[in-house]
Amino acid sequence: MILRGVILIVVADATAHLGAIIAYPISKLPCANTKAWRNRNMAGFTLIELLVVMAVIAILAALLLSALARAKEQGRKTACVNNLQQLLLAEKLYSDDNRDFLVLCNDSDQWPYELWAYYRTTNILACPTSLSLGHLADNEDSTGHPFQDYVNSSPRTYIMNGWNEFPGLWPRPPLPGLSIKTSAILQPAETILWGEKATCEGDFWVDIYENSGSSEVVTDNLINKIAHGLHGPIKPGKSGGMNVACADFGVRFKKFGATVAPDCWWCVLPKNRAQLESILSQLLPDGDCPY
């Protein structure tokens, strides 16, 4: 609108000058070969005209840079979706080979290495948007096995559901070899397998009972360790959202806070899914990470 207004002012000014020239008596126009006419032609732009041109250029540049930033973020967001789709394919192949069980969820068997045979590249473990923020956390834990540590310590920006609502999966650590079957997830299209973690956190799992002495949901992980608004129009913000990979093996984009309320997509049991609306005001675009 500002640009349109500036253009209209310039056009109106030019029209007024043209009208004045047309209305000027021909008999009084200077001859083309006179000194007055030559001096008139040699005059440059006025200061006002230069300022108007500079303002128009500045407005166009601002609009162009903003559009380029949005397009760049859209490209990063699309690459992130592709990464999650490849992880879902790896999970699907794993569950087919393991009697419908999802990858083990305990603190000694981290999912990047457990699924390695099914995706074979660490490039899909990190979202380009998170990498562009420049403060990616080191991943936690070391097993003492070089290749396993290499995979698990690769740049990673996704965090998996810990499923610790189920018997045997809580309290930590879960029983050896125990996980959850995909058939046990009652609302697979609205239950998260992977989400996008806060870039300054190194966790592998969302543990909704972390530091809890009971089976009551603790919201620390959901507030501090999830990047609820990672994909903003230009940068993380509450006007954005995050990509999530769901238990029906589909990827969805959820707006800021929509994975927590009205239903919590990180929970499976109905009693836990509908009790977290009170924490919406505490959620942050990139967890508790600084920009």
Domain ranges of the chain: 2-43, 78-288
Mean pLDDT on 150-161: 92
Q: What is the pLDDT at residue 240? A: 92
pLDDT band at 223 (very low <50, low <70, confident <90, very high): confident
Q: Which of 108, 87, 110 is nearest to 204 (CA)?
A: 110
Residues belonging to the chain: 291
For range 3-13, the mean pLDDT? 41
DSSP string, 55-115: HHHHHHHHHHHHHHHHHHHHHHHHHHHHHHHHHHHHHHHHHHHTTTBPPP-SSSS-HHHHT
Q: Give the pLDDT mean for 154-177.
A: 73
To which residue do tokens 């995706």 refer? 119
Q: What is the mean pLDDT of the chain?
A: 79
Provide the pLDDT for residue 112.
94
Give the position of tokens 């419908």: 100
pLDDT score at 221:
84
Among 205, 210, 140, 137, smallest CA distance to 172 is for 210
CB atoms within 10 A of CB 220: 14
**Quick one: pLDDT band at residue 197, thresholds 50, 70, 90?**
very high
The separation between CA 94 and the C-alpha centre of its own chain, rounded to angstroms, equals 27
SS3 286: strand
The band of 201, judged by pLDDT with boundaries at 50, 70 and 90, is confident
